Amino acid sequence: MQFDDDARLDTSQVEDRRGLPGGRAAVGGGLVGILAVLVAVVFGVDPALFGVSDDPVAPPVGQATSSAQLQSACRTGADADRRQDCRILATVNSLQNFWKSEFARRQGQYAPAATVLFTDRVATACGTASSAVGPFYCPSDRKAYFDLGFFDLMTTRLGARGGPFAEAYVVAHEYGHHVQNLTGTMAKVGGDRQGADSASVELELQADCYAGVWTHHATTTPQASTGRPLITDLTDQDIAQALDAAQAVGDDRIQQRATGRTNPETWTHGSSAQRKQWFTTGYRTGDMAQCNTFD
């Protein structure tokens, strides 16, 4: 995964709330020993559904952030090649640029979604969430939330190989949920949130497919600001990283690692094979109309 060295990054798309009060002190356990929790919620849509509580200690949504640091560190594509947080920011830039143009092509209107980087816990319009829920998208405030520590956990606890494009896949999956929020698909899921045939699984697999659609177009869609693609190169190895990550976060694989058994009745995201398959469908076709997981 290679970025256009000279491209300027749009830091306004990422809020940096790492290390803010309401974070570390209030948390027990952090990212350690939470595999059981992740079984239920890894890559979740709405933490309010997963026992996330209101917390008076947490900072209010919209509190002043430490984004100034990110702004000075992440100026160009060269910074994105060097630093993980700048790479996540640049990935968000690329994703939103693609979806904006794709919505326009389909006579739709894309509304941008900010990404929030946090450590340990974060206040959102969906409630206060801890890192234990994994990366998530909150439809109420239209923001994607990432504790970058999850990417370590993905390799150490979930057995993924990791790598830059494994991380990009996770970011792209969350922006897939944002697309579903804008198109109204997310609202259709309702209470059908568990089981191999549930609407939740269909929603999650579609988000994987949308991640693949972006991947297909990532190196060819020009950024509005430069006229050149922000991502200049994706290799077979990058795609393999994404597929490996998709496999690692399959419900059957997570359950097998955690308990030695699989139980399709409690699936929320789909099996390893399904997640790989739907990412691949999006990646091969580049066509969101092929992401018909609900049919």
Binding site for Zn ion (CB under 5 A): 43, 204, 207
Closest approach, Cβ 226 to Zn ion, in A, equals 30
The dihedral through the CA atoms of 43, 150, 94, 127 has a sign that is positive
Both structure tokens of 164: 């830059």
Query: Which contiguous run of DSSP H or E holds residue 200?
Result: helix 199-217
With respect to Zn ion, which residue has the nearer C-beta, 17 or 173? Answer: 173
Closest approach, Cβ 150 to Zn ion, in A, equals 13
With respect to Zn ion, which residue has the nearer C-beta, 22 or 135? Answer: 135
Closest residue to bound Zn ion by CB: 43
Closest approach, Cβ 136 to Zn ion, in A, equals 7
With respect to Zn ion, which residue has the nearer C-beta, 7 or 243? Answer: 243
Closest approach, Cβ 173 to Zn ion, in A, equals 6
With respect to Zn ion, which residue has the nearer C-beta, 43 or 110? Answer: 43
Q: CA-CA distance, 92 to 132, in Å (whole number)?
A: 22
Closest approach, Cβ 207 to Zn ion, in A, equals 5
CA distances from 286 to 5, 28, 216, 221, 231 (A): 25, 42, 5, 12, 16
Q: CA-CA distance, 246 to 180, in Å (whole number)?
A: 19
With respect to Zn ion, which residue has the nearer C-beta, 68 or 125? Answer: 125
Helix count and strand count (H, E) for the chain: 10, 8
Q: At what angle do helices 272-285 and 199-217 cross, to 10 degrees?
A: 40
